């Protein structure tokens, strides 16, 4: 697996508001201005997500981005809320052939939760490995898995 480089915390904090605005624009089907595009490219360069090659074209500095230790718990929660909002927009506004959505509701114990959680982590690592081996990526996808309780714990079985 390709090691994931981390963005310097000071650089990230300085630009995270601007990045959130650009994330929202990135999934929009609306057109944006040349000035907005230029600012987005400048931000991606400053965050070291892209670099300009000697031929003048931009290239990704890495295929995948993972949150590092520089993100606080609050920042992580905010990021996941925003990504979930982008997922909602994708359901409403994009071609269903461009995304995969699946869900299942189930009754499980804490022990089974732990087993499923471990399997989900293994699968996520496999997804990352597959993406890292993609030699010609042509778009950006967000992989997100939500696994949470819909009810409080039933204590009548104890």
What is the per-residue pLDDT across 1-29, written as a single tens digit (0 to 9) for each?
Answer: 444 444 444 444 445 555 555 555 454 44
Q: What is the pLDDT confidence band of residue 120, given thresholds at 50, 70 and 90?
A: very high
Per-residue model confidence as pLDDT tens digits over 32-91:
567 777 777 787 777 777 788 888 887 777 766 666 655 677 777 877 787 788 788 777
Q: What percent of the chain is helix, strand and coil (3-state, nearest 5)?
A: 50, 5, 45
User: Residue 153: is its pLDDT beyond 80?
Assistant: yes
Query: Is-above-0.95 flag for pTM?
Result: no
In a domain, 31, yes or no: yes
In a domain, 2, yes or no: no
User: How far apart (Å, rounded) are the C-alpha atoms in residues 119 and 127?
Assistant: 12
Determine the structural domain holding residue 95 and report its residue range: 9-132
Distance of CA 92 to the CA centre of its chain: 19
In a domain, 156, yes or no: no
In the block, residue with structure tokens 């090691």 = 3
Tokens of 64: 């995948």
In a domain, 1, yes or no: no
Alpha helices in the chain (DSSP H): 9-26, 34-46, 73-93, 110-132
User: What domain count does the chain have?
Assistant: 1
In a domain, 138, yes or no: no
In a domain, 145, yes or no: no
In a domain, 58, yes or no: yes
């Amino acid at each position: 697996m390709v090691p994931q480089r981390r963005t310097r915390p000071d650089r990230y904090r300085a630009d995270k508001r601007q990045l959130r605005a650009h994330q929202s624009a990135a999934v929009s089907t609306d057109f944006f201005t040349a000035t907005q595009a230029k600012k987005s490219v400048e931000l991606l360069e400053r965050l070291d997500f892209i670099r300009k090659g000697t031929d003048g074209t931009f290239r990704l500095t890495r295929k995948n981005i993972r949150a590092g230790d520089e993100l606080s718990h609050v920042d992580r929660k905010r990021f996941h809320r925003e990504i979930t909002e982008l997922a909602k927009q994708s359901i409403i506004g994009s071609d269903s052939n461009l995304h995969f959505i699946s869900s299942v509701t189930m009754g499980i114990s804490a022990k089974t939760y732990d087993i499923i959680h471990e399997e989900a982590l293994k699968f996520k690592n496999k997804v990352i490995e597959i993406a890292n081996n993609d030699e010609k990526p042509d778009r950006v996808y967000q992989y997100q898995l939500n696994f949470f309780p819909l009810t409080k714990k039933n204590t009548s079985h104890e």
